[in-house]
Chain A
Amino acid sequence: MVAMSETAIADVPIRKRKPGSRIAEFAAYLQALPLLVILGAFLLLPIAMITVVSFWDYDFAQMYPGFVTFNYTETLGSWVTWKTYLNTLKFAAIVWGLTLTIGFWVAYFLAFHIRSTAMQMVLFLICTVPFLTSNIIRMISWIPVLGRNGLINSALVGAGIVPQPIEWLLYSDFAVVLAMVHLYTLFMVTPIFNTMMRIDKSLIEAARDAGASSLQVLTNVVLPLSKPGMAIGTIFVVTLVMADFSTVQVMSGGQSASVALMMKNEMSLLQYPAAAANAVVLLILVLLMVGGILRVVDIRKEL
């Protein structure tokens, strides 16, 4: 239905330019201006400033304008940096795999197995509500569940499955991944669900009539047509994990590292140029990843 109305819009002939269309074009500029001003002041200018500052010198008290490259050579020449980047990429890969799998099946269930639209919306809202509550609260809510005396350990010890509490449930890489999946899966569910809802149901009926099993329908019809949603979800999850420092800090109990956490530590030591150099490297890496994904999907067509 949506697809239909879109083609309907596309087929409407472009109205002839009336004398007023100059004014209309001017109005469009005026309407776009606030967005441009805000993003210019709080996105473009800060990024430009970070790039400049990353070439500045600094000591324990302040920064000195100049053009030095040792912020980059120090960062990129250090084994710790590379290990931190690898660790962040590892988290991104694991969390991406898990959220994609969970997100796909949840969206698939909602889109193709729930028959009434009202029920679909209710179940979708149930999935969306936690997204609108505090991330930090959702993070710390794992502590009474995973902790040494937490629910899972008490249950396991009580049932006699393990002799003593499992230590690696909390304050470990496992806890970091679990919390990230908890926080970010919704970013995968929503775009995949959105794409699946736009798949023409008659395509599936046609596949069935042609003798496809439900597994074949899934792999040959639903999966390829859901790819744009999966790509958009991937953009969200990957950029969120690459930027994460609070989950890594709280859930690993300081035992694991991420690039953003490294930046945050440099910032708290007032090493702004060093943090800025890291920011530039991280930004380039993230934009390359997003650019790669955008080659697969045209966001504007998916909205």
Chain B
Amino acid sequence: MQREPRSREFYILAVFFTIFVLFLYGPLSAILILSFQGPNGGLTFPLNGVSLHWFVNLFEKQAVGDFGGALRRSLMLGLMVMVTTVLVSLLAGLAFRRKFLGATALFYLAVASLVVPSIIISLGIGVVFSQLGLQPAWYSSAFGAHLTWTLPFGVLIMFAVFNRFSPAYEEAARDLGATSWQTFRHVLLPMIAPSLIGVGLFGFSLSYDEFARTLMTAGTYNTLPLEIYGMTTNVTTPVLYALGTVTTLFSFLVIAGTLGLIVFVNRRRAYA
């Protein structure tokens, strides 16, 4: 396609897109700046000096809540959800490549899991656990509740990946005498590795930030989003913003690390 000069439409849309990006990131940068508020500063601008006071405050033992414990639980839960989501989505993706009885029903069950309001899942799992006489906890009931949100994403992504995946590669491997395990391990797995890493990122991030589904299912000990939600009503100091900055930076690190990993895997595959 030859390069035409940019039309007026392009410039209008470019401005629109820039405003959209500012709209996405603007408020986030406001709390980033305000978390460096001086010790006497309040919840709004102007900055009353610049300090790390609120970050120090965050890591001290607080009257309300237990930030360190909540963070530890959210990380563990996120990792558990990530591993389960990757494994189960991969298996389900492989299953959907073949025709089997109930495949359509199972697919729409996954879609349903995506559209059922989160608070209904929260309430339902809470009631099931109490009727069974089980104590809800972040590693059991909340774990299951998070999976109802991360698995549909994982399954749909794997479904899309295998939709575009030509069986010719596996047939070639089989013709060369590879066993099905060898075909899977040395042909299929390396080709879909970047997508699996993406599914892992989704699984971890969605769980790490999930709030509504954890509400009735976390049991005695809070996860981080529950802790933050509690703070929005109780805490009236910039320590709230410090917490926001820390968790957001952590999310950015996770995303950057994952993207780096995907680029690395692709590179290595290109040279292999």
Contact = CB atoms under 8 A, between A and B. Distances in A.
Interface of A: 2, 5-6, 8-9, 12, 24-25, 27-32, 34-36, 38-39, 41-47, 49-50, 53, 102, 105-106, 108-110, 113, 115, 123, 125-127, 129-130, 132-138, 140-145, 147, 149-151, 154, 182, 185, 201, 205, 214, 235-236, 239, 242-243, 245-246, 250, 260, 263-264, 267, 272, 275-276, 279, 282-283, 286-287, 290, 299-300, 303
19 contacts: A25-B98, A31-B92, A31-B95, A32-B100, A34-B87, A38-B144, A39-B110, A46-B123, A50-B124, A109-B14, A110-B17, A132-B202, A133-B209, A137-B248, A145-B27, A151-B30, A154-B45, A272-B127, A287-B112
A44 B120 CA distance: 11
Contacts of A12: 167
Contacts of A282: 117, 120
Contacts of B164: 2, 5-6
Interface in B234-272: 240-241, 243-244, 247-248, 251-252, 254-255, 259
B215 A132 contact: no
B31 interface: yes
Interface in B2-60: 3, 7, 9-10, 13-14, 16-17, 20-21, 23-28, 30-31, 34, 43-45
A109 B17 contact: yes
B199 interface: no
A261 to B, nearest CB: 9
Contact of B30 (A32, A144, A149, A303): A144
Contacts of B92: 31-32, 34-35
Q: List the 10 closest pairs (A to B, CB-CB), nearest first.
A: A46-B124, A243-B117, A42-B144, A31-B95, A141-B27, A32-B95, A303-B160, A132-B205, A109-B13, A137-B244
Determine chain A's interface SS by DSSP, over half rule.
Answer: helix
B232 interface: yes
B31 A141 contact: yes
Given A133-B251, A303-B156, A286 B44 contact: no
A9 to B, nearest CB: 7
Given A46-B125, A140-B244, A282-B120, A245 B95 contact: no
B228 A35 contact: no
B24 A136 contact: no
A36 B102 CA distance: 10
A185 B24 CA distance: 10
B208 to A, nearest CB: 8
Contacts of A39: 109-110, 113, 148, 151
Contact of B128 (A28, A49, A137): A49
Determine chain B's interface SS by DSSP, over half rule.
Answer: helix
A299 B117 contact: no
Interface range on chain B (Cβ under 8 Å from partner): 35 or more
A263 B123 contact: yes
A47 B216 CA distance: 14
Contacts of A38: 84, 88, 144, 147-148, 151
Contact of A133 (B1, B144, B248): B248
Nearest to A264: B119
A49 B31 contact: no
Nearest to A150: B44
A144 B236 CA distance: 12
B106 interface: yes
A141 B244 contact: yes
B98 A24 contact: yes
A77 B84 CA distance: 44
Contacts of A137: 28, 31, 228, 243-244, 247-248
A47 B120 CA distance: 8
A43 to B, nearest CB: 5
B116 interface: yes
Given A42-B125, A132-B205, A142-B27, 13 more contacts: A12-B167, A43-B148, A53-B127, A108-B13, A129-B255, A132-B201, A137-B247, A140-B244, A143-B43, A145-B27, A245-B119, A246-B212, A260-B119
Contact of B225 (A30, A134, A201, A276): A134
B229 interface: yes
Contact of B106 (A24, A32, A113, A141): A32
Contacts of B247: 133-134, 137
Nearest to A125: B259
A133 B248 CA distance: 6
Given A5-B166, A214-B7, A140 B116 contact: no
A71 to B, nearest CB: 13
Contact of A105 (B13, B87, B116, B163): B13
A136 B231 CA distance: 11
B211 interface: yes
